[in-house]
Amino acid sequence: MPISACSQEKSPANDSNATIQSQALTVASLGPKLHLDGLNTGIPLPWAVTSWLPLIKSALPIRFTQYVFLAAGIAVACWITEAKAASRLVRLVLAFLACVFLVPNPKAFGWTNFPLAPALPSNIAASALGKPANIIVLPFANHGPGMAWQLDTRMGFTQTGGYVGFTPRQAWRWPVVHDFMDGAPHGNFENDILAFCGTHRVDYILLAPQTPKPLAQAIMALGWPIIRHDGTGIVEVPPRRKLRYFYVQGDYWPSAHSRFSWIGRYARIATSGRSLRLIIKGSERPASLRPVRLTVKIGKKTTVYEVSDATRIVLTLKSGSTTTLKAAKIFRPVDVIHNKDYRHLSVTIALEALPHNPA
């Protein structure tokens, strides 16, 4: 720690150590890559080395700024203490002004009253099994009152969503999370919300009065049971055994503007209650790239394909099956067409639901 800067026996060595430690912490706080005005430049920084280390790789580099400001505070304290009587008052005034400028601007934040939770009916506060119901509260995450409502009810329910910091990268793999955050449905919204509710064991969706209208209308159009309570819409999710959906996990980037979406080195497709048509094509790959070997495993059957820019593969995935796609090689668009796209990609896929044939 740079506390040595205020040691009673001041020496150039102490000053040098404090300066080096402060500078190291400042550089570490910038993270593994340099960002300028919100843009990832791709320039690696020293903190990138820690991405290979256990435990420490999960640390948030921005928190090193706390130590940086601690070092700055100690340095200022030393600067004031060492001043002669004639200039000490001036330094104190300057330090006080610096503290004044640290006061946040109240107009920069959207201050609101603490949202009070509606008194949820007893059959919603607890599920049929006697356990707390799992609920999605909209508006989603930090845009809505979910965390406050959960606190008001003394953790009377669990929620899929909430807000405890940045949304994990794995959560963004679910297309409906984008819809929740944007406040509007996109793409195959019905399947996406079915998959999200089914895999996350959601019992109810609460539509607070502030829920964006397009999103609320899309949920009500599903035809699920809904009641109104204290201005909040309470939507009951059907039993999981009745839900029919599919979803993709792994290196998958769902597109809101095209039928086809990119996958990376690995993707896993799961279906529940419905069969699918899987279409794989390589026409979106840059022409300068060689064909990529793609291993497709459907159940216990494994097939290897060579996917070029002219390849189009159509497969049928039965209900309840699991399919994995593994690419032998991936590419980064930024290295080929220089479009600042740093994703690791292989081929594009499209999924189409086949007509449901009840047994």
The full set of domains in the chain, from first to last, is 2-107 (no CATH), 122-242 (no CATH), 245-353 (2.60.40)
Phi and psi at residue 232, in whole multiples of 5°?
-110, 130
50 vs 12, more confident: 50
Q: Give residue 128's pLDDT.
A: 42
pLDDT of 74-128, one tens digit each? 888 888 888 888 888 899 999 999 889 888 888 877 777 777 666 566 555 555 4
| Residue 183, H or E segment | none
Confidence class of residue 222 from pLDDT cuts 50, 70 and 90?
very high
State the angle between helix axes of 65-81 and 85-101 in degrees (0 to 180), rounded to the nearest 10. Answer: 160
Greatest Cα pair distance in the chain: 93
Rounded Cα–Cα distance for residues 308 and 306 (Å): 6
Direct distance between the N- and C-terminal alpha carbons of the chain, in angstroms, rounded to an integer: 69
Residue 180 has pLDDT above 70, yes or no: yes
Q: Give residue 130's pLDDT.
A: 52
* HSE-CB for 111 with a 13 A CA cutoff: 5
- Minimum mean pLDDT range among 8-17, 231-240, 255-264, 333-342: 8-17
Mean pLDDT of 273-301: 93
Residue 201 has pLDDT above 90, yes or no: yes
Q: Give residue 10's pLDDT.
A: 55
In eight-state DSSP terms, residue 291 is P
Tokens of 95: 């330090």
Mean pLDDT of 318-333: 94
- Minimum mean pLDDT range among 26-30, 109-113, 170-174, 306-310: 109-113
- Minimum mean pLDDT range among 59-63, 181-185, 261-265: 59-63
Rounded Cα–Cα distance for residues 135 and 141 (Å): 12
pLDDT of 246-270, one tens digit each? 999 999 988 877 889 999 999 999 9
pLDDT, mean over the chain: 86
Q: What sign has the CA pseudo-torsion 173, 177, 181, 184?
A: positive
Quote the radius of gyration of the chain (alpha carbons, Å): 27
Confidence class of residue 5 from pLDDT cuts 50, 70 and 90?
very low
Mean pLDDT of 44-61: 84
Rounded Cα–Cα distance for residues 76 and 70 (Å): 10
Q: Give residue 133's pLDDT.
A: 87
- Minimum mean pLDDT range among 8-22, 30-44, 163-177: 8-22
Q: Give residue 60's pLDDT.
A: 85
Q: Give residue 215's pLDDT.
A: 96
Q: Give residue 121's pLDDT.
A: 61
Residue 42 has pLDDT above 50, yes or no: yes
Rounded Cα–Cα distance for residues 195 and 243 (Å): 8
Percent of the chain at pLDDT above 90?
42
CA–centroid distance for 63 within its chain:
19
Tokens of 333: 């668009």
15 vs 59, more confident: 59
Q: Give residue 317's pLDDT.
A: 95
